[in-house]
Amino acid sequence: MKLTSVERWERLYMQSPLDTMPVVLFDNLVSAKLIDRTYLESEADATLLLEKLLKSYQTFKADSVSLNYSMSEINQVLGGESKVTHPNTSRSIVAYPAQALEDVAALPELALETLPVTLRLRQAIEHFLNETHGEVPVRLHFRGPFSMVAGLIESEKILRGMRRDPEGLHAALAYTTQLATQLVECFSDLAPIIYNISDPVASGSLISHKQYEAFAFPYTQQLVETLHQQNQRVHLHICGNTERALPLIQQTGVDAFSMDQVVDVAKAFEMTDHQLLLMGNVDPVKFFLEGTPEEIKQEVERIAQAAKDAKGTLILAPGCDLPYDTPIEQIQAFMEAARACS
């Protein structure tokens, strides 16, 4: 039985027999190198976006390809500013459209469907799905509601607002939840897409468990429920140590959770009672960027064995985005080892 990537994902969600487990690369940055472009060059043109998607799939044959909906472009449309700090990373936000939490909720509604970033991504995704006959899903990364607020106002004001102005923060989160929902609706006629919520500011390394439960969790759960009502598949990634939050992450209803490399695989299965599909978590710097093919092979085998010992189902993947300078042979070594373990 030889399945397409789309069939593999759907059978996995339904807990049906598979030919092999899906393998994931968070390849949005490094795929630009495959077409001899900087990351920012590849993001500025729909033709280059398509070219890097196709090249990544042809080179690595992972079970999805990745694109990112840039928060900096939303920030700029609303009156903020961003700048280039390095051509091979995302633009950095340097000024915000909101100065206080109440300003976030008062920001205007956006016609996201008309923004250049939306049009570029739509064109690239549509052509990629046509070229691959809809057999390989595109993984569209975008900020979750909590981290999206941090693209509209300084993070320090969010952290302070959790203590001093919770009502103002909830109002801001209602705005960004609607914005995230609208973002997905811009692509809802295209399939297959996996919507990958990235919520780095909700990390257990930055906020407490109680703060996650009060401010990040309910809006993520609301967004996931809305997307499931539209028959969309939703994954979630949160940087840092999320072990304590895992039961709440499970309650959000996401179809899979991508773990940072600091999370212990066995502990993650224990915390979720084996009821949450987990993904991860090879260190993208230590093993992909700086390791050797043999070291990455050993790490893949170690993680796969940890999942097996815990009697858990694990999708092998990096613990976060692969850096632009990741050696191609390291990615190929990962793919070979992951397929062998799957």
Measured distance CA(209)–CA(214) in Å, rounded: 9
- Spans of the chain below 70 pLDDT: none
Q: Strand 92-95 vs strand 81-83: parallel, antiparallel, or unpaired?
A: antiparallel
Please give the C-alpha separations between residue 252 and each of 36, 147, 222, 276, in angstroms, as whole numbers: 39, 16, 8, 10
Q: Which residues are paired to 237 by β-bridges?
A: 198, 258
Q: Is the dihedral of CA 187, 180, 76, 40 positive or negative?
A: negative
Q: Are 31 and 53 in contact (CB under 8 A)?
A: yes
Residue 63 CA to residue 108 CA, distance in Å, equals 38
The answer to whether 2 and 11 are in contact (CB under 8 A) is no
In what helix (H) or strand (E) does residue 216 lie, and over which residues does it extend? none
Is residue 282 within 8 Å of 303, Cβ to Cβ?
yes
pLDDT for 190: 97
Element (H, E) at 324: none
Closest C-alpha to 276, from 314, 302, 226: 314
Please report the pLDDT score of residue 230 as a whole number. Answer: 94
CB 299 within 8 A of CB 282: yes
Contact assessment for residue 279 and residue 312, using Cβ atoms and an 8 Å cutoff: no
pLDDT at 1: 77
Per DSSP, the three-state class of 260 is: coil
pLDDT of residue 342: 82
